[in-house]
Amino acid sequence: ETGVTQSPTHLIKTRGQQVTLRCSSQSGHNTVSWYQQALGQGPQFIFQYYREEENGRGNFPPRFSGLQFPNYSSELNVNALELDDSALYLCASSRVGGAIYEQYFGPGTRLTVT
């Protein structure tokens, strides 16, 4: 069983640029959630995708957007990067259908905005 993978591992961007982060969900999972983890903080929910549609969103501006593909992989796009966007971005996959949802996290992408 393949776990959740994310790419790239590290990324350095300049303020105002755009970035795309990628996530491949665990085999058999159909839901992907994205979280932002600032240094020394707990992860913050950005949004979730199920059946290729956004299914819940946290308190993040519209310049954070995403996609889910038919194979359940996902992208997180961030436009007009700001310094405060520097963080570890975590992707988590899960399978809708059970009573309790367990999310499995990838290793994350470390984004630095200069």
Partner 1 sequence: GNSVTQMEGPVTLSEEAFLTINCTYTATGYPSLFWYVQYPGEGLQLLLKATKADDKGSNKGFEATYRKETTSFHLEKGSVQVSDSAVYFCALSEGGSEKLVFGKGTKLTVNP
Distance CA 102, CA 98 (A): 9
- Choices 11-19, 29-37, 62-70, 76-84 (CB under 8 A): range interacting with partner 1: 29-37
Coil vs helix vs strand at 36: strand
- Choices 10-18, 28-36, 64-72, 73-81 (CB under 8 A): range interacting with partner 1: 28-36
Length of the chain in terms of residues written: 114
String of contacts with partner 1 for each residue 82-111, x by CB under 8 A: --------x-x-x-x--xxxxxxxxxx---
The total of other beta-carbon atoms located within 10 Å of residue 91's CB is: 29
Of 41, 37, 40, the residue nearest 107 (C-alpha): 37
Q: Give residues 46-85 in contact with partner 1 (rule: CB under 8 A).
A: 48, 56, 58
Report the first-to-last Cα separation within the chain, whole angstroms: 38
Tell me if 36 contacts partner 1 by CB under 8 A.
no
Shortest reach from residue 38's CB to partner 1, in Å: 10
- DSSP β-ladder status, 10-13 and 109-113: parallel
User: Which of 19, 34, 43, 64 is the binder for partner 1 (CB under 8 A)?
Assistant: 43
Task: Give contact residues for partner 1 (rule: CB under 8 A).
Answer: 4, 31, 33, 35, 40-45, 48, 56, 58, 90, 92, 94, 96, 99-108
